[in-house]
Structure 1
Amino acid sequence: MEIVRNITTTPPLFISTNPSHVKLNQLTHLFFSSNFSSHRFPNLHYNGNQRVVEAVNVDKLRIALLHSSVVVSVFCKPSCCEREKGENETFSFGRELMERVVPVSESNGELVGFGRAVSDNGLTASIHDIVVLPSLQGLGIGRKIVRRILRVLIARDIYDIGALCSEKERLFFEACGFGDDILGSTAMMYTRAPPTLSHYNSQDVKHAGRMLLLVPQSRQPLSSSMTND
Protein backbone atom coordinates (compact mmCIF):
# COMPACT_ATOMS: atom_id res chain seq x y z
CA MET A 1 0.00 0.00 0.00
CA GLU A 2 1.27 3.44 -0.86
CA ILE A 3 0.03 6.87 0.10
CA VAL A 4 0.75 10.20 -1.50
CA ARG A 5 1.66 13.10 0.71
CA ASN A 6 2.00 16.69 -0.42
CA ILE A 7 4.72 18.20 1.80
CA THR A 8 3.79 21.86 1.92
CA THR A 9 4.18 22.24 5.68
CA THR A 10 7.29 22.05 7.80
CA PRO A 11 8.33 18.42 8.33
CA PRO A 12 9.23 17.13 11.82
CA LEU A 13 12.45 18.82 12.90
CA PHE A 14 15.06 18.50 15.59
CA ILE A 15 16.57 21.87 16.50
CA SER A 16 19.77 21.84 18.53
CA THR A 17 21.95 24.47 20.16
CA ASN A 18 24.63 21.92 21.00
CA PRO A 19 27.74 22.71 18.92
CA SER A 20 28.88 19.08 19.10
CA HIS A 21 25.88 18.10 16.95
CA VAL A 22 27.36 19.97 13.98
CA LYS A 23 29.69 17.80 11.93
CA LEU A 24 31.96 19.68 9.54
CA ASN A 25 31.41 17.28 6.66
CA GLN A 26 27.62 17.69 6.99
CA LEU A 27 27.89 21.46 7.26
CA THR A 28 30.14 21.81 4.22
CA HIS A 29 27.73 19.55 2.30
CA LEU A 30 24.82 21.81 3.32
CA PHE A 31 26.76 24.89 2.18
CA PHE A 32 27.60 23.22 -1.13
CA SER A 33 24.03 22.01 -1.71
CA SER A 34 22.73 25.51 -0.99
CA ASN A 35 25.40 27.23 -3.13
CA PHE A 36 26.25 29.18 0.00
CA SER A 37 29.61 30.59 1.03
CA SER A 38 30.53 31.69 4.51
CA HIS A 39 32.60 34.48 2.94
CA ARG A 40 30.88 37.84 2.84
CA PHE A 41 32.42 38.53 -0.58
CA PRO A 42 32.87 35.08 -2.19
CA ASN A 43 34.71 34.49 -5.41
CA LEU A 44 32.31 33.37 -8.16
CA HIS A 45 32.54 31.19 -11.22
CA TYR A 46 29.98 29.89 -13.67
CA ASN A 47 29.03 26.29 -14.38
CA GLY A 48 27.10 26.74 -17.59
CA ASN A 49 24.42 29.32 -16.75
CA GLN A 50 24.60 28.66 -13.01
CA ARG A 51 26.57 31.00 -10.80
CA VAL A 52 28.56 28.99 -8.26
CA VAL A 53 30.25 30.41 -5.16
CA GLU A 54 33.63 29.18 -4.03
CA ALA A 55 33.78 26.22 -1.68
CA VAL A 56 33.95 27.01 2.00
CA ASN A 57 37.36 26.82 3.65
CA VAL A 58 36.92 23.92 6.08
CA ASP A 59 39.76 24.98 8.37
CA LYS A 60 38.40 28.50 8.72
CA LEU A 61 34.89 27.15 9.23
CA ARG A 62 36.14 24.94 12.06
CA ILE A 63 37.73 27.95 13.76
CA ALA A 64 34.56 30.01 13.26
CA LEU A 65 32.45 27.32 14.92
CA LEU A 66 34.80 27.08 17.87
CA HIS A 67 34.55 30.82 18.49
CA SER A 68 30.82 31.23 17.86
CA SER A 69 28.72 32.14 20.88
CA VAL A 70 25.57 30.42 19.60
CA VAL A 71 25.32 27.59 17.08
CA VAL A 72 21.93 26.34 15.90
CA SER A 73 21.53 23.23 13.75
CA VAL A 74 18.33 21.78 12.30
CA PHE A 75 17.81 18.14 11.35
CA CYS A 76 14.99 16.30 9.61
CA LYS A 77 14.50 12.81 8.23
CA PRO A 78 16.47 12.25 5.00
CA SER A 79 13.28 11.27 3.15
CA CYS A 80 11.94 14.81 3.61
CA CYS A 81 15.01 16.38 2.05
CA GLU A 82 14.45 15.02 -1.44
CA ARG A 83 11.16 16.72 -2.14
CA GLU A 84 10.82 19.18 -5.01
CA LYS A 85 8.87 22.34 -4.35
CA GLY A 86 5.28 22.09 -5.47
CA GLU A 87 5.45 18.35 -6.12
CA ASN A 88 4.17 15.31 -4.25
CA GLU A 89 6.21 12.71 -2.40
CA THR A 90 5.31 9.04 -2.47
CA PHE A 91 5.97 6.92 0.63
CA SER A 92 5.36 3.27 1.35
CA PHE A 93 3.05 2.60 4.28
CA GLY A 94 5.85 1.07 6.37
CA ARG A 95 8.17 3.96 5.69
CA GLU A 96 5.45 6.45 6.55
CA LEU A 97 4.81 4.65 9.85
CA MET A 98 8.50 4.72 10.77
CA GLU A 99 8.64 8.42 9.97
CA ARG A 100 5.92 9.06 12.52
CA VAL A 101 7.06 6.66 15.26
CA VAL A 102 10.78 7.41 15.40
CA PRO A 103 11.49 11.01 16.49
CA VAL A 104 14.04 13.07 14.62
CA SER A 105 17.46 13.48 16.22
CA GLU A 106 20.95 14.50 15.19
CA SER A 107 21.86 10.80 14.92
CA ASN A 108 19.13 9.74 12.46
CA GLY A 109 18.46 13.08 10.77
CA GLU A 110 20.11 15.07 8.02
CA LEU A 111 21.45 18.57 8.61
CA VAL A 112 19.07 20.84 6.69
CA GLY A 113 19.53 24.19 8.42
CA PHE A 114 22.21 26.14 10.23
CA GLY A 115 22.90 29.50 11.79
CA ARG A 116 25.29 31.04 14.29
CA ALA A 117 25.99 34.19 16.23
CA VAL A 118 29.16 35.78 17.55
CA SER A 119 29.10 37.93 20.66
CA ASP A 120 31.21 39.58 23.33
CA ASN A 121 28.85 37.77 25.74
CA GLY A 122 28.17 41.02 27.54
CA LEU A 123 26.72 43.72 25.32
CA THR A 124 26.45 42.94 21.62
CA ALA A 125 26.01 40.07 19.17
CA SER A 126 25.66 39.57 15.43
CA ILE A 127 24.02 36.79 13.43
CA HIS A 128 25.77 35.03 10.54
CA ASP A 129 25.49 32.14 8.07
CA ILE A 130 21.75 31.45 8.08
CA VAL A 131 21.34 28.68 5.51
CA VAL A 132 18.56 26.17 4.72
CA LEU A 133 18.58 23.31 2.25
CA PRO A 134 16.98 24.67 -0.98
CA SER A 135 14.32 21.94 -1.18
CA LEU A 136 13.04 22.96 2.27
CA GLN A 137 13.22 26.72 1.89
CA GLY A 138 10.01 28.70 2.26
CA LEU A 139 8.73 26.55 5.13
CA GLY A 140 9.84 28.83 7.97
CA ILE A 141 12.95 26.88 8.97
CA GLY A 142 15.19 29.94 8.61
CA ARG A 143 12.93 31.95 10.92
CA LYS A 144 13.03 29.12 13.46
CA ILE A 145 16.83 29.28 13.41
CA VAL A 146 16.88 33.05 13.96
CA ARG A 147 14.27 32.86 16.72
CA ARG A 148 16.27 30.20 18.54
CA ILE A 149 19.45 32.30 18.29
CA LEU A 150 17.58 35.35 19.61
CA ARG A 151 16.11 33.33 22.47
CA VAL A 152 19.57 32.18 23.61
CA LEU A 153 21.08 35.67 23.35
CA ILE A 154 18.21 37.38 25.16
CA ALA A 155 18.41 34.77 27.91
CA ARG A 156 22.00 35.98 28.38
CA ASP A 157 20.69 39.53 28.71
CA ILE A 158 22.08 40.56 25.31
CA TYR A 159 19.73 42.80 23.34
CA ASP A 160 22.04 44.71 20.98
CA ILE A 161 21.79 42.13 18.18
CA GLY A 162 22.60 42.88 14.57
CA ALA A 163 22.58 41.04 11.25
CA LEU A 164 24.75 42.06 8.31
CA CYS A 165 22.63 41.09 5.33
CA SER A 166 22.46 41.66 1.62
CA GLU A 167 19.51 43.33 -0.09
CA LYS A 168 18.31 39.85 -1.04
CA GLU A 169 18.27 38.81 2.63
CA ARG A 170 16.69 42.02 3.89
CA LEU A 171 13.06 40.87 3.64
CA PHE A 172 13.90 37.66 5.49
CA PHE A 173 15.43 39.50 8.44
CA GLU A 174 12.60 42.01 8.48
CA ALA A 175 10.20 39.07 8.83
CA CYS A 176 12.32 37.96 11.80
CA GLY A 177 11.86 41.30 13.56
CA PHE A 178 14.91 43.23 12.36
CA GLY A 179 14.74 46.76 11.04
CA ASP A 180 16.77 49.88 10.37
CA ASP A 181 18.93 51.09 13.23
CA ILE A 182 17.06 53.88 15.07
CA LEU A 183 20.39 55.68 15.46
CA GLY A 184 20.92 55.65 11.71
CA SER A 185 24.10 53.60 11.85
CA THR A 186 25.60 52.38 8.57
CA ALA A 187 27.56 49.16 8.24
CA MET A 188 30.99 49.70 6.71
CA MET A 189 33.41 47.00 5.58
CA TYR A 190 37.20 47.13 5.60
CA THR A 191 38.22 46.97 1.93
CA ARG A 192 41.95 46.18 2.41
CA ALA A 193 42.85 47.77 -0.93
CA PRO A 194 45.49 50.53 -0.47
CA PRO A 195 44.16 53.96 -1.50
CA THR A 196 47.18 54.66 -3.74
CA LEU A 197 46.84 51.39 -5.65
CA SER A 198 46.08 53.19 -8.90
CA HIS A 199 49.57 54.72 -8.85
CA TYR A 200 51.14 51.31 -9.40
CA ASN A 201 51.40 49.23 -12.53
CA SER A 202 48.89 46.38 -12.60
CA GLN A 203 51.81 43.94 -12.95
CA ASP A 204 53.02 45.02 -9.51
CA VAL A 205 49.78 43.92 -7.85
CA LYS A 206 49.20 40.25 -7.15
CA HIS A 207 46.13 38.51 -5.73
CA ALA A 208 46.65 36.39 -2.62
CA GLY A 209 43.25 35.03 -1.71
CA ARG A 210 41.18 38.09 -0.86
CA MET A 211 44.21 40.30 -0.28
CA LEU A 212 46.09 42.41 -2.80
CA LEU A 213 49.86 42.30 -2.44
CA LEU A 214 52.21 44.95 -3.81
CA VAL A 215 55.12 43.02 -5.28
CA PRO A 216 58.40 44.97 -5.64
CA GLN A 217 60.07 45.03 -9.03
CA SER A 218 62.75 42.38 -9.41
CA ARG A 219 66.27 43.76 -9.33
CA GLN A 220 68.19 44.11 -12.58
CA PRO A 221 71.12 41.63 -12.96
CA LEU A 222 74.47 43.04 -12.11
CA SER A 223 76.69 44.13 -14.99
CA SER A 224 79.62 41.90 -15.97
CA SER A 225 82.10 44.57 -14.85
CA MET A 226 80.62 44.56 -11.37
CA THR A 227 80.54 40.78 -11.12
CA ASN A 228 84.24 40.57 -12.01
CA ASP A 229 85.26 42.90 -9.20
Structure 2
Amino acid sequence: MAMKGRAMAAAAAVHGGYPPTKLHSSLPSPLRIAARIKPNTAPPPISISTNPAHANLHHLKELYAICNHSCQRFPNTDAAGRVEPVDVLKLRTAIAHSSVVVSAFTKPEFLTNQSSTGAEVTSFTGIGGYWITKVAPVTPANGTLIGFGRAVSDLGLTASIYDVTVHPALRRRGIGRMIVQRIVRMLTNRDIYDIAALCSHDQRPFFKACGFGDDTLGSTTMVYTRSPSSYSKDEEMISAGGKLLLVPSPRELTK
Protein backbone atom coordinates (compact mmCIF):
# COMPACT_ATOMS: atom_id res chain seq x y z
CA MET A 1 0.00 0.00 0.00
CA ALA A 2 2.82 2.40 0.84
CA MET A 3 4.51 1.75 -2.48
CA LYS A 4 1.20 2.28 -4.35
CA GLY A 5 0.70 5.59 -2.52
CA ARG A 6 4.19 6.77 -3.42
CA ALA A 7 3.59 5.85 -7.08
CA MET A 8 0.36 7.87 -7.18
CA ALA A 9 2.10 10.81 -5.52
CA ALA A 10 4.88 10.70 -8.11
CA ALA A 11 2.34 10.60 -10.92
CA ALA A 12 0.49 13.50 -9.34
CA ALA A 13 3.70 15.53 -9.24
CA VAL A 14 4.27 14.89 -12.92
CA HIS A 15 0.72 15.90 -13.84
CA GLY A 16 0.58 19.04 -11.73
CA GLY A 17 -0.89 17.73 -8.49
CA TYR A 18 -3.71 15.58 -9.93
CA PRO A 19 -3.74 11.85 -10.54
CA PRO A 20 -3.76 11.03 -14.27
CA THR A 21 -7.39 9.84 -14.31
CA LYS A 22 -8.69 13.05 -12.69
CA LEU A 23 -6.48 15.23 -14.90
CA HIS A 24 -7.74 13.66 -18.12
CA SER A 25 -11.36 13.89 -17.05
CA SER A 26 -10.96 17.55 -16.09
CA LEU A 27 -9.57 18.63 -19.46
CA PRO A 28 -12.33 20.02 -21.70
CA SER A 29 -12.73 18.17 -24.96
CA PRO A 30 -12.75 20.04 -28.30
CA LEU A 31 -16.51 19.66 -28.36
CA ARG A 32 -16.82 21.23 -24.91
CA ILE A 33 -14.59 24.13 -26.01
CA ALA A 34 -16.64 24.66 -29.16
CA ALA A 35 -19.85 24.60 -27.15
CA ARG A 36 -18.52 27.39 -24.93
CA ILE A 37 -17.75 29.64 -27.93
CA LYS A 38 -20.88 31.65 -28.63
CA PRO A 39 -21.50 33.12 -32.08
CA ASN A 40 -20.96 36.85 -32.40
CA THR A 41 -24.42 38.41 -32.21
CA ALA A 42 -23.25 41.93 -31.38
CA PRO A 43 -23.63 44.46 -34.18
CA PRO A 44 -20.51 45.84 -35.83
CA PRO A 45 -19.82 49.59 -35.58
CA ILE A 46 -22.93 51.25 -37.00
CA SER A 47 -23.71 54.76 -38.21
CA ILE A 48 -27.39 55.75 -38.30
CA SER A 49 -28.36 58.64 -40.58
CA THR A 50 -31.72 60.38 -40.86
CA ASN A 51 -30.62 62.51 -43.79
CA PRO A 52 -32.53 61.41 -46.93
CA ALA A 53 -29.57 62.56 -49.04
CA HIS A 54 -27.48 59.76 -47.53
CA ALA A 55 -29.84 57.12 -48.96
CA ASN A 56 -28.09 56.56 -52.27
CA LEU A 57 -30.76 55.22 -54.62
CA HIS A 58 -28.49 52.82 -56.47
CA HIS A 59 -27.02 51.46 -53.24
CA LEU A 60 -30.53 51.10 -51.85
CA LYS A 61 -31.60 49.24 -54.97
CA GLU A 62 -28.67 46.85 -54.47
CA LEU A 63 -29.63 46.33 -50.83
CA TYR A 64 -33.23 45.55 -51.82
CA ALA A 65 -31.94 43.04 -54.40
CA ILE A 66 -29.71 41.30 -51.81
CA CYS A 67 -32.63 41.16 -49.36
CA ASN A 68 -35.12 40.17 -52.09
CA HIS A 69 -37.25 43.07 -50.92
CA SER A 70 -39.71 45.04 -53.00
CA CYS A 71 -41.30 48.39 -52.24
CA GLN A 72 -44.51 47.11 -53.82
CA ARG A 73 -46.83 44.91 -51.80
CA PHE A 74 -47.67 42.76 -54.83
CA PRO A 75 -44.41 42.53 -56.81
CA ASN A 76 -43.88 40.29 -59.81
CA THR A 77 -41.58 37.33 -59.06
CA ASP A 78 -39.61 34.96 -61.26
CA ALA A 79 -39.53 31.17 -61.12
CA ALA A 80 -36.91 31.27 -58.32
CA GLY A 81 -39.07 33.55 -56.18
CA ARG A 82 -36.94 36.64 -56.77
CA VAL A 83 -38.85 39.91 -56.87
CA GLU A 84 -38.56 42.28 -59.79
CA PRO A 85 -35.95 45.05 -59.52
CA VAL A 86 -37.00 48.24 -57.79
CA ASP A 87 -38.00 51.12 -60.04
CA VAL A 88 -35.43 53.79 -59.11
CA LEU A 89 -37.65 56.65 -60.27
CA LYS A 90 -40.55 55.50 -58.09
CA LEU A 91 -38.15 54.89 -55.23
CA ARG A 92 -36.86 58.45 -55.54
CA THR A 93 -40.43 59.77 -55.42
CA ALA A 94 -41.29 57.60 -52.41
CA ILE A 95 -38.25 58.79 -50.43
CA ALA A 96 -38.90 62.41 -51.37
CA HIS A 97 -42.42 62.16 -49.92
CA SER A 98 -41.42 60.15 -46.83
CA SER A 99 -41.58 61.96 -43.50
CA VAL A 100 -38.71 59.97 -41.95
CA VAL A 101 -35.86 58.18 -43.75
CA VAL A 102 -33.34 56.16 -41.75
CA SER A 103 -30.23 54.53 -43.22
CA ALA A 104 -27.69 52.30 -41.44
CA PHE A 105 -24.04 51.99 -42.46
CA THR A 106 -21.05 49.91 -41.42
CA LYS A 107 -17.49 49.49 -42.63
CA PRO A 108 -17.16 47.12 -45.62
CA GLU A 109 -14.69 44.94 -43.70
CA PHE A 110 -17.35 44.16 -41.10
CA LEU A 111 -19.78 42.87 -43.70
CA THR A 112 -20.08 39.12 -44.07
CA ASN A 113 -20.81 38.16 -47.64
CA GLN A 114 -22.29 35.01 -49.08
CA SER A 115 -19.93 33.13 -51.37
CA SER A 116 -21.04 31.38 -54.54
CA THR A 117 -21.09 28.08 -52.64
CA GLY A 118 -23.44 29.44 -50.00
CA ALA A 119 -20.80 29.52 -47.25
CA GLU A 120 -20.27 32.68 -45.27
CA VAL A 121 -16.98 34.46 -45.92
CA THR A 122 -15.90 37.33 -43.72
CA SER A 123 -13.52 39.78 -45.35
CA PHE A 124 -11.72 41.63 -42.55
CA THR A 125 -9.11 44.14 -43.63
CA GLY A 126 -5.63 43.41 -42.30
CA ILE A 127 -4.19 45.54 -39.53
CA GLY A 128 -0.97 46.44 -41.28
CA GLY A 129 -1.37 49.63 -43.27
CA TYR A 130 -5.13 49.86 -42.63
CA TRP A 131 -5.38 50.42 -38.89
CA ILE A 132 -6.27 54.10 -39.34
CA THR A 133 -9.28 53.25 -41.49
CA LYS A 134 -10.34 50.52 -39.07
CA VAL A 135 -10.35 52.74 -35.99
CA ALA A 136 -11.95 55.71 -37.75
CA PRO A 137 -15.65 56.14 -36.89
CA VAL A 138 -18.23 54.88 -39.36
CA THR A 139 -19.90 57.54 -41.48
CA PRO A 140 -22.22 57.44 -44.50
CA ALA A 141 -19.21 58.55 -46.56
CA ASN A 142 -16.90 55.67 -45.64
CA GLY A 143 -19.56 53.07 -44.80
CA THR A 144 -21.65 50.57 -46.74
CA LEU A 145 -25.45 50.76 -46.66
CA ILE A 146 -26.65 47.68 -44.75
CA GLY A 147 -30.05 48.77 -43.41
CA PHE A 148 -32.95 51.03 -44.25
CA GLY A 149 -36.42 52.08 -43.15
CA ARG A 150 -38.86 54.92 -43.71
CA ALA A 151 -42.15 56.31 -42.48
CA VAL A 152 -44.97 58.19 -44.15
CA SER A 153 -46.96 60.62 -42.00
CA ASP A 154 -49.49 63.44 -42.19
CA LEU A 155 -47.12 65.19 -39.73
CA GLY A 156 -50.02 65.87 -37.41
CA LEU A 157 -51.74 62.72 -36.23
CA THR A 158 -50.68 59.41 -37.76
CA ALA A 159 -47.73 57.65 -39.39
CA SER A 160 -46.93 54.29 -40.97
CA ILE A 161 -43.58 52.50 -41.19
CA TYR A 162 -42.46 50.82 -44.41
CA ASP A 163 -39.51 49.05 -46.04
CA VAL A 164 -37.53 48.11 -42.91
CA THR A 165 -34.78 45.83 -44.17
CA VAL A 166 -31.28 44.72 -43.10
CA HIS A 167 -28.54 42.95 -45.04
CA PRO A 168 -29.03 39.16 -44.53
CA ALA A 169 -25.47 38.71 -43.23
CA LEU A 170 -26.08 41.15 -40.36
CA ARG A 171 -29.57 40.22 -39.23
CA ARG A 172 -30.47 39.26 -35.66
CA ARG A 173 -27.91 41.74 -34.32
CA GLY A 174 -30.32 44.51 -33.34
CA ILE A 175 -29.76 46.67 -36.40
CA GLY A 176 -33.37 46.51 -37.54
CA ARG A 177 -34.51 47.47 -34.05
CA MET A 178 -32.14 50.47 -34.11
CA ILE A 179 -33.76 51.63 -37.34
CA VAL A 180 -37.33 51.26 -36.04
CA GLN A 181 -36.46 52.92 -32.73
CA ARG A 182 -34.94 55.90 -34.54
CA ILE A 183 -38.06 56.23 -36.72
CA VAL A 184 -40.35 56.06 -33.69
CA ARG A 185 -38.23 58.58 -31.79
CA MET A 186 -38.36 61.09 -34.62
CA LEU A 187 -42.13 60.71 -34.94
CA THR A 188 -42.84 60.97 -31.21
CA ASN A 189 -40.61 64.04 -31.02
CA ARG A 190 -43.14 65.57 -33.41
CA ASP A 191 -45.93 64.55 -31.03
CA ILE A 192 -47.10 61.74 -33.34
CA TYR A 193 -47.97 58.58 -31.40
CA ASP A 194 -50.48 56.84 -33.69
CA ILE A 195 -47.80 54.82 -35.49
CA ALA A 196 -48.61 51.71 -37.52
CA ALA A 197 -46.36 49.09 -39.07
CA LEU A 198 -47.76 47.24 -42.05
CA CYS A 199 -46.07 43.85 -41.86
CA SER A 200 -46.49 40.22 -42.83
CA HIS A 201 -47.16 37.39 -40.41
CA ASP A 202 -43.45 36.49 -40.35
CA GLN A 203 -42.51 40.08 -39.47
CA ARG A 204 -44.88 40.33 -36.50
CA PRO A 205 -42.37 38.96 -33.92
CA PHE A 206 -39.82 41.56 -35.01
CA PHE A 207 -42.19 44.50 -34.67
CA LYS A 208 -43.53 43.08 -31.41
CA ALA A 209 -39.96 43.11 -30.08
CA CYS A 210 -39.79 46.77 -31.16
CA GLY A 211 -42.80 47.65 -28.99
CA PHE A 212 -45.66 47.18 -31.45
CA GLY A 213 -48.79 45.17 -30.71
CA ASP A 214 -52.34 44.56 -31.84
CA ASP A 215 -54.54 47.60 -32.26
CA THR A 216 -56.41 48.13 -28.98
CA LEU A 217 -59.39 49.40 -30.98
CA GLY A 218 -59.55 46.17 -32.92
CA SER A 219 -58.99 47.88 -36.26
CA THR A 220 -58.28 45.72 -39.29
CA THR A 221 -56.22 46.85 -42.25
CA MET A 222 -58.16 46.64 -45.49
CA VAL A 223 -56.66 46.93 -48.97
CA TYR A 224 -58.49 48.19 -52.03
CA THR A 225 -59.14 45.06 -54.13
CA ARG A 226 -61.96 46.09 -56.43
CA SER A 227 -62.34 43.42 -59.09
CA PRO A 228 -63.37 43.97 -62.72
CA SER A 229 -66.75 42.33 -62.04
CA SER A 230 -67.65 44.91 -59.40
CA TYR A 231 -67.21 48.15 -61.32
CA SER A 232 -70.27 50.00 -62.55
CA LYS A 233 -71.45 50.42 -66.13
CA ASP A 234 -70.13 53.97 -66.09
CA GLU A 235 -66.61 52.70 -65.48
CA GLU A 236 -64.25 50.46 -67.38
CA MET A 237 -60.98 48.66 -66.74
CA ILE A 238 -57.88 49.21 -68.85
CA SER A 239 -54.56 47.36 -68.73
CA ALA A 240 -51.45 49.43 -68.06
CA GLY A 241 -48.08 48.00 -67.21
CA GLY A 242 -49.53 44.61 -66.34
CA LYS A 243 -52.02 46.16 -63.89
CA LEU A 244 -55.72 46.92 -64.16
CA LEU A 245 -56.74 50.53 -63.78
CA LEU A 246 -60.24 51.77 -63.09
CA VAL A 247 -61.20 54.74 -65.28
CA PRO A 248 -64.47 56.60 -65.75
CA SER A 249 -66.41 56.23 -68.97
CA PRO A 250 -66.02 58.87 -71.70
CA ARG A 251 -69.49 60.12 -70.81
CA GLU A 252 -68.37 60.82 -67.25
CA LEU A 253 -65.28 62.67 -68.47
CA THR A 254 -67.39 65.14 -70.46
CA LYS A 255 -69.46 66.18 -67.46
TM-score between both structures, scaled by the size of structure 1: 0.79
Structure 1 position 90, deviation (Å): 5.1
Q: Secondary structure at the match of 1:147?
A: helix
CA distance in structure 1 between the aligned counterparts of 2:237 and 2:190, rounded to whole angstroms: 46
Contact 2:110 2:124 in 1 (8 A): no
CA distance in structure 1 between the aligned counterparts of 2:45 and 2:242, rounded to whole angstroms: 40
CA distance in structure 2 between the aligned counterparts of 1:86 and 1:54, rounded to whole angstroms: 25
Query: What is the 5 A alignment of 1:44-59?
Result: 44-46=77-79, 50-59=80-89
- Root-mean-square deviation (CA), in Å? 2.5
Structure with the larger strand share = 1
TM-score between both structures, scaled by the size of structure 2: 0.72
Q: Secondary structure at the match of 1:146?
A: helix
Contact 1:118 1:126 in 2 (8 A): yes
Residues 17-56 of structure 1: per-residue CA shift (max 9 Å, x gap): 011111111111111111110001111112xxx3101111
**Code of the aligned partner of 2:220:** T
Structure 1 position 138, deviation (Å): 1.1
CA distance in structure 2 between the aligned counterparts of 1:76 and 1:63, rounded to whole angstroms: 26
Query: Does residue 65 in structure 1 map to residue 99 in structure 2?
Result: no
**Code of the aligned partner of 1:32:** A
Structure 1 position 122, deviation (Å): 0.4
Contact 2:228 2:237 in 1 (8 A): no
Q: Which has the higher contact order (CA 8 A, sep 6+)?
A: 1
Contact 2:107 2:138 in 1 (8 A): yes
Q: Which has the larger radius of gyration?
A: 2
CA distance in structure 1 between the aligned counterparts of 2:195 and 2:54, rounded to whole angstroms: 24
Residues 58-104 of structure 1: per-residue CA shift (max 9 Å, x gap): 11110000000000000000112234687766542236733542111
Q: Secondary structure at the match of 1:93?
A: coil
What is the aligned-residue identity percentage?
Answer: 52
**Code of the aligned partner of 1:144:** M
Equivalence for 1:157: 191
**Code of the aligned partner of 2:101:** V
5+ residue gaps in structure 1?
A: 1-5, 198-203, 215-229
Note closer, same or farther for the CA distance 1:180–1:213 as it changes in structure 2 (3 Å cut): closer
Note closer, same or farther for the CA distance 1:52–1:95 as it changes in structure 2 (3 Å cut): farther
Equivalence for 2:63: 30
Contact 1:123 1:158 in 2 (8 A): yes
Note closer, same or farther for the CA distance 1:177–1:95 as it changes in structure 2 (3 Å cut): farther
**Code of the aligned partner of 2:184:** L
CA distance in structure 2 between the aligned counterparts of 1:120 and 1:134, rounded to whole angstroms: 32
Contact 1:70 1:149 in 2 (8 A): yes
Structure 1 position 111, deviation (Å): 0.5
